[in-house]
Structure 1
Amino acid sequence: MATSGLSARQADVWARYQSMRVRLAGQLNRELAACSGLSEADFEILTALLDTPGEAVRALALRCGLGWEKSRLSHQLRRMEQRGLVTRFDCAEDNRGTVVQITELGRELAEEATAHYEQAVRRHVVDALTRDQLDALGDIADAVLGGLPRHEPDGPGRS
């Protein structure tokens, strides 16, 4: 009788991948917080803003770029605004929209964190792999991402 479950080999590989993913994410997050006081979510938003011309972007575009739900972004931005990392203001072209802009403090912390984060990624991933393994990891990521649906904005409202 055929089953749709995983073979023993597939289950083993998946379990090892899950263990690596959880431990690596935890380690990177701990190091990021220790060097900058930023959470992974803070860092994701701040680096997205740094990569945006003028370091300001509509919340809808930011949300779509990050693949986040509207409520998650809204709550995260509120916390970051309270800490002085970003500011939010109404969009001049569309009063239903909100623009998010990085502050000087947010920029300084993000730039400092980026150097530490890249060193941690090098130490825990790049240096642990051979050139061929790193290429294979990129190919694997492309294959898996290519089979996943793109995140669509939630609901008809704007932000």
Structure 2
Amino acid sequence: MTEPRWLTATEQRSWRAYVDGSARLTELMDRDLKTRHGLSVSEYEILVRLSEAPGRSLRMAELAEHASQSRSRLSHTCARLEGKGLVRREDCPSDRRGVICLLTDEGFAALDRAARDHVEVVRTYLVDVVDPADLDAIGRAFDAVIKRIEAG
């Protein structure tokens, strides 16, 4: 058995700052979205992904990939959104096994209202406090992380 590649003190500090900071920021965003708009961060992300898709719709399998949720979890989240009238699910016309999730007009309006507040939270707690060069580095770093994860 090989020895683990332990983190250096600097790596450990950076790792812990990432874990703690990202958890706290996600919790803050979730609390804010729920309080102001009755949406969780995961519900908001689904609405965003649908709003950016052609025809404001995606197959559930594709939406699960984009929204970083399992298909099972996504199904429950979409059921909540459907209950609020923000999305609608329909059978896929080209594949009887597939299901399409569509953003309703009410969902688009709810997203528009939430996005106006959400962007301020993102700016206040991330963009405005991080040096622009560091923000670019964060973007490059997580692009690399995503590529590594997708490559397996």
- Sort the TM-score into its range (normalised by shorter chain): 0.7 to 0.9
Structure 2 segments unaligned to the other structure (5+ residues): none
8 Å contact kept, 2:42–2:67: no
Q: Structure 1 CA distance, aligned partners of 2:91 and 2:48? A: 22
What is the aligned-residue identity percentage? Answer: 33
Match of 2:106, as an amino acid?
L
Once the two structures are superposed, the pairs formed by residues 64-79 of structure 1 within 5 Å of their partners are 64-79=65-80
Match of 2:41, as an amino acid?
E
Asked whether 1:55 is paired with 2:51, we answer: no
TM-score by length of 2: 0.87
Secondary structure, aligned partner of 1:128? coil
Match of 2:98, as an amino acid?
G
Summarize the Cα distance change of 1:72–1:79 in structure 2 as closer, same or farther, 3 Å threshold. same
Q: CA RMSD in A?
A: 1.9
Once the two structures are superposed, the pairs formed by residues 74-113 of structure 1 within 5 Å of their partners are 74-113=75-114
Once the two structures are superposed, the pairs formed by residues 1-159 of structure 1 within 5 Å of their partners are 4-149=5-150
Q: C-alpha offsets along residues 75-127 of structure 1, whole Å, 9 cap, x if unaligned?
A: 11112112211111111222211111112221111111111111111111111
Q: CA deviation at 1:150?
A: 5.4
Aligned length: 150
Structure 1 segments unaligned to the other structure (5+ residues): 152-159
TM-score by length of 1: 0.84
Summarize the Cα distance change of 1:21–1:135 in structure 2 as closer, same or farther, 3 Å threshold. same
